Amino acid sequence: MNCPKCHYNNTKVYDTRTTQSGKVTRRRRQCLECKHRFTTVEEVKIFDLMVKKRNGQEVIFSEKKLEQGIRKAFNKRPVDNAKIAKLVQDVIEDVLQASKNPISSVKVGKLVLKNLEKVDKVAFICYSAMFSNFDSVDDFINLVRPKS
Ligand SMILES: [Zn+2]
Protein backbone atom coordinates (compact mmCIF):
# COMPACT_ATOMS: atom_id res chain seq x y z
CA MET A 1 0.00 0.00 0.00
CA ASN A 2 1.62 3.25 -1.15
CA CYS A 3 1.31 6.46 0.82
CA PRO A 4 -1.11 8.79 -1.04
CA LYS A 5 1.00 11.78 -0.10
CA CYS A 6 4.61 10.82 -0.78
CA HIS A 7 4.04 7.46 -2.52
CA TYR A 8 6.42 5.69 -0.19
CA ASN A 9 5.62 1.99 -0.40
CA ASN A 10 5.72 1.02 3.25
CA THR A 11 2.97 1.83 5.72
CA LYS A 12 2.13 0.69 9.19
CA VAL A 13 -1.41 -0.38 10.14
CA TYR A 14 -2.30 0.93 13.56
CA ASP A 15 -6.03 0.24 13.67
CA THR A 16 -8.19 -2.32 11.91
CA ARG A 17 -11.95 -2.40 12.02
CA THR A 18 -14.13 -4.92 10.31
CA THR A 19 -17.84 -4.46 9.75
CA GLN A 20 -20.20 -6.97 11.29
CA SER A 21 -20.66 -8.80 8.03
CA GLY A 22 -16.92 -9.36 8.00
CA LYS A 23 -16.80 -8.26 4.41
CA VAL A 24 -15.43 -4.74 4.72
CA THR A 25 -12.26 -3.86 6.60
CA ARG A 26 -11.12 -0.34 7.33
CA ARG A 27 -7.50 0.14 8.22
CA ARG A 28 -5.88 3.22 9.64
CA ARG A 29 -2.40 3.44 8.23
CA GLN A 30 0.59 5.62 8.74
CA CYS A 31 3.31 6.19 6.18
CA LEU A 32 6.69 5.10 7.56
CA GLU A 33 8.38 7.86 5.58
CA CYS A 34 6.34 11.07 5.96
CA LYS A 35 4.10 9.90 8.84
CA HIS A 36 0.98 10.83 6.90
CA ARG A 37 -2.09 9.03 8.21
CA PHE A 38 -4.80 7.68 5.95
CA THR A 39 -7.54 5.07 5.85
CA THR A 40 -7.93 2.21 3.44
CA VAL A 41 -11.09 0.24 2.86
CA GLU A 42 -10.84 -3.35 1.78
CA GLU A 43 -13.76 -5.31 0.53
CA VAL A 44 -13.20 -8.99 0.02
CA LYS A 45 -15.43 -10.86 -2.34
CA ILE A 46 -15.75 -14.47 -1.43
CA PHE A 47 -15.69 -15.47 -5.09
CA ASP A 48 -12.28 -13.85 -5.51
CA LEU A 49 -10.78 -15.77 -2.66
CA MET A 50 -8.07 -18.34 -3.28
CA VAL A 51 -6.97 -21.10 -0.95
CA LYS A 52 -3.33 -22.08 -0.98
CA LYS A 53 -2.62 -25.70 -0.24
CA ARG A 54 0.50 -26.93 1.52
CA ASN A 55 1.92 -28.00 -1.83
CA GLY A 56 1.64 -24.42 -3.06
CA GLN A 57 -1.28 -25.08 -5.39
CA GLU A 58 -3.99 -22.45 -5.31
CA VAL A 59 -7.65 -23.30 -5.71
CA ILE A 60 -10.76 -21.12 -5.68
CA PHE A 61 -12.41 -21.01 -2.28
CA SER A 62 -15.55 -23.09 -2.42
CA GLU A 63 -18.40 -22.57 0.03
CA LYS A 64 -19.82 -25.90 -1.07
CA LYS A 65 -16.62 -27.78 -0.26
CA LEU A 66 -16.41 -26.02 3.06
CA GLU A 67 -19.95 -27.15 3.85
CA GLN A 68 -19.18 -30.72 2.78
CA GLY A 69 -16.15 -30.77 5.06
CA ILE A 70 -18.19 -29.54 7.99
CA ARG A 71 -20.96 -32.07 7.31
CA LYS A 72 -18.40 -34.88 7.24
CA ALA A 73 -17.24 -33.84 10.68
CA PHE A 74 -20.71 -34.70 11.94
CA ASN A 75 -20.20 -38.13 10.41
CA LYS A 76 -23.84 -39.18 9.90
CA ARG A 77 -24.99 -37.92 13.25
CA PRO A 78 -28.25 -35.99 12.95
CA VAL A 79 -27.58 -32.31 12.58
CA ASP A 80 -30.00 -29.69 11.49
CA ASN A 81 -29.35 -27.80 8.28
CA ALA A 82 -29.69 -24.42 9.93
CA LYS A 83 -26.85 -25.33 12.26
CA ILE A 84 -24.61 -26.29 9.35
CA ALA A 85 -25.56 -23.16 7.40
CA LYS A 86 -24.75 -20.98 10.42
CA LEU A 87 -21.39 -22.73 10.86
CA VAL A 88 -20.53 -22.22 7.19
CA GLN A 89 -21.41 -18.52 7.39
CA ASP A 90 -19.42 -18.07 10.60
CA VAL A 91 -16.36 -19.74 9.08
CA ILE A 92 -16.68 -17.59 5.95
CA GLU A 93 -16.85 -14.44 8.05
CA ASP A 94 -13.69 -15.51 9.87
CA VAL A 95 -12.03 -16.34 6.56
CA LEU A 96 -12.92 -12.88 5.24
CA GLN A 97 -11.76 -11.21 8.43
CA ALA A 98 -8.41 -12.94 8.10
CA SER A 99 -8.04 -10.70 5.01
CA LYS A 100 -5.62 -13.01 3.31
CA ASN A 101 -5.85 -13.84 -0.35
CA PRO A 102 -4.72 -16.48 -0.91
CA ILE A 103 -5.49 -17.88 2.51
CA SER A 104 -3.71 -21.09 3.46
CA SER A 105 -5.70 -24.30 3.68
CA VAL A 106 -4.24 -24.72 7.17
CA LYS A 107 -5.67 -21.39 8.26
CA VAL A 108 -9.10 -22.28 6.86
CA GLY A 109 -8.97 -25.57 8.75
CA LYS A 110 -8.15 -23.76 11.97
CA LEU A 111 -11.06 -21.39 11.46
CA VAL A 112 -13.39 -24.35 10.93
CA LEU A 113 -12.11 -25.87 14.17
CA LYS A 114 -12.56 -22.63 16.08
CA ASN A 115 -16.22 -22.50 15.05
CA LEU A 116 -16.90 -26.21 15.46
CA GLU A 117 -15.54 -26.13 18.99
CA LYS A 118 -18.20 -23.61 19.99
CA VAL A 119 -21.02 -25.64 18.48
CA ASP A 120 -20.29 -29.35 18.69
CA LYS A 121 -17.45 -30.99 20.60
CA VAL A 122 -17.71 -34.34 18.86
CA ALA A 123 -17.56 -32.78 15.39
CA PHE A 124 -14.69 -30.66 16.62
CA ILE A 125 -12.75 -33.75 17.69
CA CYS A 126 -13.58 -35.53 14.45
CA TYR A 127 -12.35 -32.60 12.39
CA SER A 128 -9.25 -31.97 14.47
CA ALA A 129 -8.27 -35.67 14.43
CA MET A 130 -7.88 -35.34 10.67
CA PHE A 131 -6.55 -31.85 10.69
CA SER A 132 -2.84 -32.54 10.91
CA ASN A 133 -3.00 -34.63 7.78
CA PHE A 134 -5.32 -32.85 5.47
CA ASP A 135 -4.18 -30.37 2.92
CA SER A 136 -7.50 -29.15 1.64
CA VAL A 137 -11.14 -29.66 2.31
CA ASP A 138 -11.04 -32.23 -0.49
CA ASP A 139 -8.33 -34.22 1.17
CA PHE A 140 -10.21 -33.90 4.40
CA ILE A 141 -13.38 -35.29 2.84
CA ASN A 142 -11.41 -38.24 1.51
CA LEU A 143 -10.04 -38.92 4.96
CA VAL A 144 -13.36 -38.94 6.72
CA ARG A 145 -15.53 -40.90 4.36
CA PRO A 146 -18.45 -42.18 6.41
CA LYS A 147 -17.79 -45.62 7.80
CA SER A 148 -20.06 -48.27 6.36
ZN1 LIG B 1 4.20 9.29 2.99
Q: Count CA atoms within 13 Å of residue 47 on its CB side.
A: 0
Chain mean pLDDT for the chain: 84
Contact 62, 88 (CB under 8 A): no
pLDDT at 113 over 80: yes
Helix (H, G, I), strand (E, B) or coil at 16: strand
What percentage of residues in the chain have a pLDDT greater than 90?
41
More confident: 54 or 34: 34
pLDDT at 139 over 70: no
CA of 70 to the centre of ligand 1 (A): 45
Is the alpha carbon torsion for 46, 132, 137, 68 positive or negative? Answer: negative
CA of 37 to the centre of ligand 1 (A): 8
Mean pLDDT value across residues 98-120:
91
As a three-state string, the secondary structure of 49-114 is: CEEECCCCCEEECCHHHHHHHHHHHCCCCCCCHHHHHHHHHHHHHHHHHCCCCCEEHHHHHHHHHH
Beta bridge partners of 60: 50
CA of 6 to the centre of ligand 1 (A): 4
- Name the band, by pLDDT with cuts 50, 70 and 90, for residue 104: very high
**pLDDT for res 51:** 93
CA of 41 to the centre of ligand 1 (A): 18
Question: Which tens digits make up the pLDDT trace of 40-73?
Answer: 887 766 667 899 988 899 998 988 889 988 998 9
Per-residue DSSP letter, 3 = -
Phi, psi of 70 (to 5 degrees): -65, -45
pLDDT at 141 over 90: no
**pLDDT for res 133:** 62
Residue 51 to residue 67: CA distance in whole angstroms: 15
pTM for the model: 0.60
CA of 42 to the centre of ligand 1 (A): 20
